[in-house]
Structure 1
Amino acid sequence: MIKNITKLSLANYGTISSIPYYDIQLDDVNNETTKIITTFDLNSYFIDTMNKTVINIEEGTAVLYTYTPGNDSRSFFLDKCVILNPNVFYKVVPLDNSCTIKIKFNKKTTSIQRSNTRLDFSRGIKSKLNIAKIYTLYYQEFDKFFSYKGEKHDFWEITYVDQGELSTLIDGREFILKQGDFIFYAPNQYHTQKNNSSVPVSFLTISFKMDFEQEDILKDKIFICDHELKSILEKILDEKNYNGVYSPDLIICYLKEFIVKLIRIISKKNSIKQLHTSMQVNTNNAFVNTSLEYIYSHISQKITVDELANKVSISSSYLSRIFKDVMGVTIIDYINNYRLDTSKVYIKSTDLSLTQIAEILGFNSIHYFSKQFKKRYGISPIVYSKSLKN
């Protein structure tokens, strides 16, 4: 990445001149010239093994590439007059079509080199993960008899389970996706899907072309969609339904954000594992699993953090911290989200009234339930129920 020239950033290669270029007098400089640079030769660079070199930008914009043995290569936005130390490899490259520089150097001791170097000639920020195209993007709801015989293709695919439970075989290996789980199918992985429960299953599918070298990070793993990742998926669906100006571009950006943030979560978890013993990690997971089991079996009751902490015999502050680390959301947010997500299952797969559903799931009143439902999904439960019937 191109850096700003500062006293600190340039320290390994030279200094910033404190006086104007024309006033600089160096005993070892015996040549001064003006260069108009229009070409970019990857295999050539300059070096003065004995004396200093002065470079000043006159017109246009340019990047100064530097390298010294023992240090990484650096690229600087050339907007100041610099004095390079001896034994510094350097190259000036125009950012646009051309640039003009003035340079003072010792002609006898400066040489041009033509060979492979450690200079990094990349200009600007480079993307390590590229999504060129989205082939399919759809949200589907199927009954309990859903079964898909399978396919494989030369692009990526992601499936996120919004409701119910889904069984998928990837090259003969079974994975069970529960509500809130998602999985990637890497290019040329044969995969099948079928409903794994007695209630309807709903899931989001996105297939896309992606250039990504580290396939093993994503494939053959089940991931839990935390609040932040789920909000990105909701943005993708909202943008698809909106279909505004440059919506396809924005959808691709959201999908890339989703994958990058997932990789960061994976990297963070790997770092945490290195810092903690496996026993401590397993213990924390056990605390969280016990808390989840209690939430699921007491969903119709009022559940507090203190109550859960007493159940697992640890402090409420410690439980809150490890729950957020493992699940990605706070305990209260998880309980509220679980109640609302479960309410959608009841609305779709039972004949219970909205009042009965609100009571079963521990909402204080039907009005509070309706308010929270609309806040999360954008529509009231009554409208959602009618849309399913229609």
Structure 2
Amino acid sequence: MSQVRLSPYIRIAWDHTLHPPNKINRRALFDYELIYVKSGEMRVLIEDVEYRGVPGDIFLLKPRQHHSIEAMNDQPVRQPHLHFDLVYQSDSPTLKTSFLPVEAMSEQELRLFREDVTQELPNHFRLRHPLIFEKLLFDIIHEYESKHPYFETAATGLFLQLWAQLAREHLWSTHAAIATNWVQLERVKSYLNRHVDKDVTLDELASVANLSSSYLCRLFKKTFGVGPIRYHLIGRIEHAKKLIQFTDLPITEISELCGFLSIHSFSRAFRNAEGVPPTYYRNFPSRSEQ
């Protein structure tokens, strides 16, 4: 999923209460559904695995997964939910909600299933901070209910925040070391961001974090997607790009301001990162021309 560029389309945003004996019989969706248990309890069967949902729980139903839903204890369950595509497709605005199992679908319906790009995510979440998720969800629902100008754009922005929160919570829950060392990781990242004017070493960063260099490197990459040295190099190159484009400083001086020992090492690192030489950005339109 981390490799996928999200362009979500929200199909349904609904604050719904399921009253027994009503229930959702076995079916498979073409798209995704995200359900939040606000109150009550629910039994959710997903591909023959049974879950008990209590307030604060989240269920992610994925394309083609058979599932059924019913309230427990003969009490209603408030379950605000979203139906959505993670990647916009040409038929996203016209796709309907499925209430059939796969075996009852036509050939045409079978072609409507979205590709699942969330294999690493579970079907059931029990969050540490459900109120953050809850607020974002109800803000999305409010946008769709009020339909103010540009509500779809506003809702899409909120959804991306919600999805990031869900992914982070999953990362923290499955990698306890990240949550345990979060303060140290943020300290290292802040240190790197403040020192784009010099080279750094792993030993130096390990001292900042009070962790071993090998452990820090593994943990940093797991958390931020790249190792600390690579992260720092990207930051230095980004800083250099701004100086090249928006100042008249000589490129040799810029390379020194970004901590490179020579113009040659700077040019080589810049080209490896950007695919173009530093002078490419010097030829961009200046701010006065924009």
User: Which bin holds the TM-score, normalised by the shorter protein?
Assistant: 0.3 to 0.5
Structure in which a larger fraction of residues adopt strand: 1
TM-score by length of 1: 0.36
Larger RCO, structures 1/2 (Cα 8 Å, 6+ apart): 2
TM-score by length of 2: 0.47
Q: Larger radius of gyration, structure 1 or 2?
A: 1
